[in-house]
Amino acid sequence: MDNKTRQAEQDKIEMDIISCIYMNKKLIPEFGSKIPVDKFSKKNQPLYAAFQGFTKDQLYEVNHNLYVLNPKYLEIVVGACENYSGGYDTDHLMKRFYDVHLSINTTEMLTKAAKDSETGQKGLDITLNAIDKLNSHVDEVIGNMTEIKPLYDELPEVVARLDRRASGKNDLIRASTELSTFNKMTGGIQNQNFIVIAGAYKNGKTTFADNLIVDFAKQGIPTVMINLEMSKAQLQEKMLANLLGIELSHFRDPHEMTSAEMKSLVIKPISKLPLYIESGFFTDSQIRAKMKLYKQRFGIKIVVIDYLNLIKSSEHKAKREEEISALSRFFKQTTTELDLITIMLTQLNREGLEVPKLSKTAEGLGLIRDCDYGFVIYRPCKYDMKYVEIGKEKYIVKDDYMIVKLDVSRHSSDTTTTDMLLRLDSYGRLREPCLFELDKYIGAPKTEKNGYKQDY
């Protein structure tokens, strides 16, 4: 179908819609809610806008009011009605309208993408951007076509959701017992949650995220890691070390790997784990396209992005903190739109021996504003801490300890648990205090060794 034919088809369907609402004026609000005036062609837009702008009283004398606006309007409408025999099937008319509308826009976008690719060398970027624009356009059409209901009509959905929760089949996702404090901090996470994990360089944010997604994948929850920092080979080995209990150093030097460990790579039932890995340098639009692709093809529920500071924003800002804020807003909107859970990692600058806080950094303000849960992870040994206090217990700091802290400074949380102590083992696994032996301060009496009694 050439462009001229498409334009003729567009004109035909627009006049059919105008004929329909002229003959049945009760349908004007329904069409107005699902087909905005600016979607009509410039030729027919004023006439469609006239119908949408008429008050109830003006519609009683629609012929007169059309003639007052423009003497040709009445003549055009009457002529269109004589050629219309489609009845009042609004769904069919709207589908025809958006079929033609999408066809015209798709042709224009792809033609422009083809022209741009002829003059440059960024063919992949141009194609991905075109696909992203098309996806956005389709999403807009679906949004316009979606039926809008008052709260009363949505009550059955609410009741069904409550029934699922009461029967234990709720929408909340929780970590296993190995990371149970995460559940106390969040109460469980759910679709459209935008979660931020922040930390200074080499303080464990990627390790914590890896443990979370492995935990979720073991529960059968489809999860993808999109990493902009590490190679896919590194990520694969880290995940396998965690899953199979093989020391990461054995992957680097296979001669150290035992025959049992080698066999476990083949025999262990990890093939059915819904865990996916993506690695590379991506723009915000490219990541959004990947998120949508993984949801459509694999039913992904959780996306982990590592990390925000490396993403190239399509919005060019004068200051980096403004760009970070724009990226945060972009992925918050994407998370809501795609009905996913996004766990976004971000790197904070270390300031001396003070433990970083999201709310105290310029780049963190936008993240705190947008996120549902904001966590900061740090290794207490790097801040010269001798002990840490978690709940009612004090623990002697060791090199393999990490603390995850819920930042509640800029968003509300009804939890009383804000800190989680974790210990890193040689497989890259993080475990909580109840699962391993700890040195605890009990306050007195002191010993010559370190000034505090140790309780093993």
Q: What is the pLDDT of residues 217-230, one digit of tens each?
A: 989 999 999 999 88
Q: Which residues contact 202 (CB under 8 A, 6 or more apart)?
A: none
pLDDT of residue 143: 65
Q: Are residues 185 and 326 in the same domain?
A: yes
Predicted confidence (pLDDT) per residue in 307-325, tens digit: 888 888 777 777 777 888 8
Residue 169: the pLDDT is 64
- What is the pTM for the complete model shown? 0.66
Whether the per-residue pLDDT at 266 is higher than 50: the answer is yes
104 and 181 fall within a common domain: no
Across residues 288-312, what is the average pLDDT?
89
**Residue 117 has what pLDDT?**
72
425-445 pLDDT, tens digit per residue, is: 888 888 886 555 544 444 433
Q: Are residues 295 and 397 in the same domain?
A: yes
pLDDT tens digit sequence for 169-182: 667 888 887 788 88
| Tally of structural domains, the chain | 2
Same domain, 195 and 89: no
Q: Of 398, 302, 311, 399, nearest to 347 (Cα)?
A: 311
Q: What angle do CA 194, 199, 203 make, to 5 degrees?
A: 135
Q: Flag whether 129 is in a domain.
A: no
What's the maximum distance between 2 C-alpha atoms anywhere in the chain?
A: 103
State how far the Cα of 76 lies from the Cα of 174, in Å rounded to an integer: 61
Last residue of a domain, one of 77, 98, 118: 118
Determine the 3-state secondary structure of 361 from DSSP: coil
Helices (H), 54-154: 56-60, 62-69, 71-82, 90-118, 123-145
Can you give the CATH number for the domain in which 268 is found? 3.40.50.300
Residue 45 is part of which domain span? 3-118
Residue 195, pLDDT score: 92
